[in-house]
């Protein structure tokens, strides 16, 4: 009886934490053989990211985890994900003060005093994995592409380094990796999510401010997140089909 209950709790917890396909693969991951998990089917997934501004505390865990997991250079120009701090005066909401020291890698030093009538919040940013990506549209050699499961990826072995996509991205998500002289950006931890794991940034977020979601999985909690909150994407006027969904995104965020 005791064992059954523990088993039940474990399964429920897993279901809550992991997405459908991921839950299936979890046993293999625990056994240390994630490569033996059921074959990943591209067409069964449509990945997205749910971000909750109200939960983000600017600790920078995601930035550090991302750099470690993906071998991103520690230089302060190279980020696959970064966190911005907004400081908005109520009398001038159109011109927020934004800072992102080292992309939030080291957290944010105290800067603004409480109670001066302004509001402060953090905005975690990353590639929006747009469904109609301007970067994919403009790449002259097709080195950037959308995978059938909704992830925008870069073939670093074919990229020219022409930087046309860097200019096409409305969100500033792309940078040139000085080691390869080719473009680099968030891959949504593709090497992890296809093995049933979540992304490194989601894994380490202490507040659950970002959650990877599979829009093709009806049981994924992202559906409730999208339904129960006032959701916004960055620069909706660009109509890029951005799939980084924010709850509590202030109008001053650019």
Q: Is 160 in the site for other proteins (CB under 8 A)?
A: yes
Considering only residues 37 to 66 of the shown chain, the ones binding other proteins according to CB under 8 A are none
7 binds other proteins (CB under 8 A): no
CB-nearer residue toward other proteins: 6 or 254: 254
Rank residues 13 and 236 by Cβ distance to other proteins and give the closer one.
236
CA triplet 80, 85, 87: central angle to 5 degrees? 155
> How far apart are the C-alpha atoms of 112 and 207, rounded to whole Å?
22
Q: Nearest distance from residue 13's CB to other proteins, in Å?
A: 38
Task: For residue 168, give the H/E element and its range.
Answer: helix 164-168
| Distance in Å, CB of 169 to other proteins, minimum | 6
In our burial notation (b when 16+ CB lie closer than 10 A, e otherwise), range 202-223 reads: bbbbeeebbbbbbbbbeebbbe
Which residues, at least 6 apart from 29, have a Cβ–Cβ distance to it below 8 Å?
37, 195, 196, 197
- How many Å apart are CA 215 and CA 129, to the nearest integer? 13
CA distance 113 to 136: 43
Contacts 24+ apart (CB under 8 A), 3-11: none
- 171 lies in the site for other proteins, by CB under 8 A: yes
* Whether 75 contacts 178, CB under 8 Å: yes
Q: Of the two residues 19 and 128, which places its CB atom closer to other proteins in the complex?
A: 128
Member of 81, 128, 182, 187 binding other proteins (CB under 8 A): 182
Site for other proteins, residues 135 to 154, rule: CB under 8 A: 136-143
Q: Is residue 101 close enough to count as binding other proteins by CB under 8 A?
A: no
Residue nearer to other proteins on the CB measure, 38 or 161? 161
Among 72, 83, 153, 169, binds other proteins (CB under 8 A): 169
**Cβ of residue 197: shortest distance to other proteins, in angstroms?**
29
Kindly list the residues in this chain that would bind other proteins in the complex (CB under 8 A): 77, 84, 94, 98, 134, 136-143, 158-164, 166-172, 174-176, 178, 180-182, 238, 254
């Amino acid at each position: 009886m005791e064992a059954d209950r523990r088993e039940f709790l474990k399964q429920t917890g897993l279901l809550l934490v992991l997405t459908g396909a991921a839950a299936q693969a979890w046993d293999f991951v625990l056994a240390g053989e994630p490569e033996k998990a059921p074959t990943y089917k591209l067409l069964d997934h449509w990945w997205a990211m749910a971000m909750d501004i109200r939960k983000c505390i600017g600790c920078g865990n995601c930035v550090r985890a991302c750099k470690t997991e993906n071998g991103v250079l520690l230089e302060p120009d190279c980020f696959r994900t970064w966190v911005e701090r907004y400081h908005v005066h109520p009398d001038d909401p159109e011109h927020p003060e934004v800072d992102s020291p080292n992309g939030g890698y080291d957290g944010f030093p105290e800067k603004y005093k409480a109670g001066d009538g302004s509001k402060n919040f953090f905005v975690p940013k990353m590639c929006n994995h747009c469904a109609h990506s301007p970067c994919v549209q403009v790449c002259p050699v097709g080195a950037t592409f959308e995978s059938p499961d909704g992830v925008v990826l870069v073939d670093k072995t074919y990229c020219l380094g022409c930087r046309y996509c860097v200019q096409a991205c409305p969100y500033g998500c792309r940078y040139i990796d000085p080691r390869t002289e080719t473009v680099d950006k968030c891959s949504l931890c593709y090497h992890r999510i296809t093995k049933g794991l979540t992304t490194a940034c989601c894994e380490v977020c202490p507040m659950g401010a970002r959650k990877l979601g599979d829009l093709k999985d009806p049981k994924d909690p992202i559906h409730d997140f999208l339904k129960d909150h006032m959701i916004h994407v960055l620069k909706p006027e660009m109509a890029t089909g951005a799939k980084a969904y924010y709850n509590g995104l202030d109008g001053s965020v650019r």
